[in-house]
Homo-oligomer: A and B are copies of this chain.
Amino acid sequence: MSDVARSAGVSLMTVSRVINNKGDVSPETRERVRQVIEDLEYRPSGIARSLATQQTKTIGLVVPDVSNPYFSGIAHGVAEIAYAEGLSVLLCDSEENPEREFRLYQVLEEKRVDGVISCASRLAAEDLQQALSWHSEVVLVNRMLEAGNRNDKGLHLASAGYVISDDFEGARLAVNYLLRRGHTCIGYLAGPPQSYGGRRRLIGYQETILAAGLPLNPKIIYHCPPTVEGGHAQAVELLQCQPDITALFCFNDMTAIGVLRACADLGRRVPEDLAIVGYDDIPMATWVAPALTTCNVPFHEMGRLATQMLIERLQGCDEDCHENIVQPRLVVRASAP
């Protein structure tokens, strides 16, 4: 920068003003400085600037696994808005490991990020709260935390904003659809018992069944790992033990694809013998045969919304930037027409 100042015959201050388009600088001076910057290929140091301004123009993004389509979709949305707003994104992949995740919030604090977006945190409420307390602005995605809690030191934690998809409604949408299609024995392949989303969808499922005046049958609810293999294995079991089931609501599209394979193995036709509804609407849902009827969760959009919310909070907004509940949408395809 001093090189630029010398070459242009001005002070450091003037160069700084030109770079930041601030203060009053005469047009000629401004142009001359610009020219020198161009010629010297001068690029201001973001770190020096950050040290002086106390802001890094960088946000942290914590995900359990970027290679998972849900999170890469979110990451894509985050990167999109961040770029448009001139922010950089520090990508933190916890590899589904809570200790590593915890450590990552520390790293982000050392990097002095302006804010963080935490996706589907695998941390216990207590730990998450502590980790978030290092940061002034946080937006949670698909994870909630009671606002205004106090930690063990009696400090009032900054309440985190959150964007979350309405899992109750998603389950209602799916089950109601199946009911309307005449199904009366609808199973639920519920995913991992620890899953927040899975539990919320279970409630939605149960409420809807009851609201229709049907009995709740715990025997047609199976848990399974949230993978194709997990869905496949449990579906084989479920379909053989409970032959009355004519429709199956699944934790997510991957398990639903597993069910598809189980049906192929067992010689059950889809949708004639078994109607299948997935969840999430990942790209793959359209590519399997039959294509999956599923609940669309707008991950990309959620990433965008989370970033916008974070930016608003960074700018000191104090209303309408606390929560954002995204509505899923039923997408009817061949697996449950």
Q: Mark A74-101, 1 if CB is under 8 A from B, else 0.
A: 0110011001000011111101000010
Given A67-B72, A83-B100, A89 contacting B88 (CB threshold 8 A): no
Category for how many chain A residues contact B:
35 or more
Interface on chain A toward B: helix, strand, loop, or mixed SS?
helix
- Say yes or no: B51 contacts A79, CB within 8 Å: no
Q: Mark A102-121, 1 if CB is under 8 A from B, else 0.
A: 00101101111000000000
Given A287-B257, A287-B288, A76 contacting B93 (CB threshold 8 A): yes
Q: Identify which of B46, B89, B111, B288 contacts A46 (C-beta below 8 A).
A: B111
Q: Identify which of B43, B73, B92, B228 contacts A110 (C-beta below 8 A).
A: B43
A281 to chain B, nearest CB (A): 14
Task: Confirm or deny: A61 has a beta carbon within 8 angstroms of a beta carbon on chain B.
Answer: yes
Chain B residues whose C-beta falls within 8 Å of the C-beta of A300 in the assembled complex: 67
A27 to chain B, nearest CB (A): 25
A→B interface (CB under 8 Å): 43-48, 50-51, 56, 58, 61, 65-69, 72-73, 75-76, 79-80, 83, 88-93, 95, 100, 104, 106-107, 109-112, 134, 228, 254, 257, 260-261, 264, 284, 286-289, 300
